[in-house]
């Protein structure tokens, strides 16, 4: 399954549009020095989910704007990254076993999740339930190598 990648060029553009230097952005998100920002912008490294969220918040942009993902095709993983959470953080916040959350995010399984499970995941990620179901279906379709119906 192809995964969305961080787009350093989009970070650089958003940072410039906000009139910030790499050093100012690094200080605003509490990370060590401008070198880290420079590495992200050059595509050498990717920020951890919590830092992706922090950068987006400081720059006033949707976190997934900084990723190579179509806003209409967001998977459960994309929603988790936008929330600034690791897989462990998300499954803990949702109150789910690791394996259950992992399977949802990676499109494993054929049984549609229950309304309760969708609610738990939506609450954990801070998105409406109506967004989670389609994101899970897109995760399944991505795993199968096709588009959701």
Contacts of 12 (CB under 8 A, 6+ apart): 41
Whether residues 95 and 60 fall in one domain: no
CATH number of the domain enclosing 118: 1.10.260.40
Whether residues 123 and 138 fall in one domain: yes
pTM above 0.95, yes or no: no
Say if residues 83 and 98 touch (Cβ distance below 8 Å).
Answer: no
In this predicted model, what pLDDT tens digit does every residue of 117-134 receive, in sequence order?
Answer: 999 999 999 999 999 999
Please identify which residue in the block is written with the tokens 């920020």: 47
Highest mean predicted confidence (pLDDT) among 24-28, 30-34, 79-83: 24-28
How many distinct structural domains can be found in the chain? Answer: 2
């Amino acid at each position: 399954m192809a995964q969305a990648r961080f787009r350093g060029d989009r970070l650089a553009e958003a940072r410039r549009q906000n009139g910030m230097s790499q050093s100012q952005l690094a200080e605003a998100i509490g990370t060590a020095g401008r070198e880290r920002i420079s590495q992200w912008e050059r595509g050498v490294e990717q920020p951890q989910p919590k830092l992706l969220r922090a950068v987006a918040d400081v720059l006033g942009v949707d976190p997934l704007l900084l990723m190579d993902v179509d806003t209409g095709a967001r998977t459960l993983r994309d929603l988790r990254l936008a929330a600034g959470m690791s897989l462990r953080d998300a499954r803990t916040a949702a109150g789910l076993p690791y394996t259950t959350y992992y399977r949802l995010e990676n499109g494993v399984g054929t049984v549609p999740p229950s309304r309760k499970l969708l609610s738990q995941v939506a609450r954990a990620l801070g998105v409406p339930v109506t967004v989670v179901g389609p994101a899970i279906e897109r995760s399944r379709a991505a795993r199968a190598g096709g588009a959701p119906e």
